[in-house]
Structure 1
Amino acid sequence: MALFNVRVYGLLINEVNELLVSDEQEYGMRFTKFPGGGLELGEGLTDGLKREFMEECNAEVEILSHFYTTDFFVKSAFNDSQIISVYYKVKNRSPLNLNFKTTVFDFGTDDLKQVVQCFRWVPLGTLTENEMTFPIDKHVVKLLKEQI
């Protein structure tokens, strides 16, 4: 049976034009993506995004606008599902209380079996598609760069 995997992500840009990215380690691999994740059954897109920001960042976000929905085929890097990702521009409702890193994959461990996550701010002016791991995120970076 073919499955769809619906994902929802937030594009959070701070007051100095930096974009929040998430470095993660799971399934024996490391990847950089935007904060967010999988939609749960019975959940709406914006509710799912708000839940994901609470789970990952312990932060309430306000949805500003829809930015992009996947319009090309992408197979999941983790299973045989087809990925459909929806991106929203968001802003935090209060200051983020995270330990921001400046180096990619600064987890404090080299054990690929551990599931870990950290966050970085990346200046929009220096952001490149290569900063991201997955094809849809790379496309979103391209679209973001076209807007600035």
Structure 2
Amino acid sequence: MNSLKDYQLLTQQALALIEDEPDLIANLSNISALLNMNLSDINWVGFYLHKGEQLVLGPFQGNVACVRIDLDKGVCGKAFRSNTIQRIADVHEFPGHIACDAASQSEIVLPINVDGQTVAVLDIDSPSLNRFTEIDQQGLSEFIEHIQAKLGF
């Protein structure tokens, strides 16, 4: 994705995919596939869902992943707990990074909120350092803002 217009088109495609489908898992599966098809230089994209005191692996595209993440651990835990986007240029410099895939070098994690509650995170990894830009952060943030209420949580 090179521009916000690219992300706007991606958002429209995602909304069309989930428009008439109430099932959460089906929607998250299609969205992870859509992102995987359209984002370059990534090696993992998927969702972690809040269950109890952990984030539990949801639909994803990529290599086998960590199944459970404590809410106070890793980039996903920090994004969830702080309800803020975490854009990490070099995951090896992030204290407490969880290395599910040794090939991952950079990461962006976006919280997903429904009715004011954080319910999940979208996690995207790249095998390249500093892969995610301010444009990616803004585009993905707007993407999440538009789809989060329609996902079926």
Please, what TM-score do these two structures have when normalized by structure 1?
A: 0.28
More strand by share: 1
Higher relative contact order (CA 8 A, sep 6+): 1
So what's the TM-score if we normalise by structure 2? 0.28
Larger-gyration structure (1/2)? 1
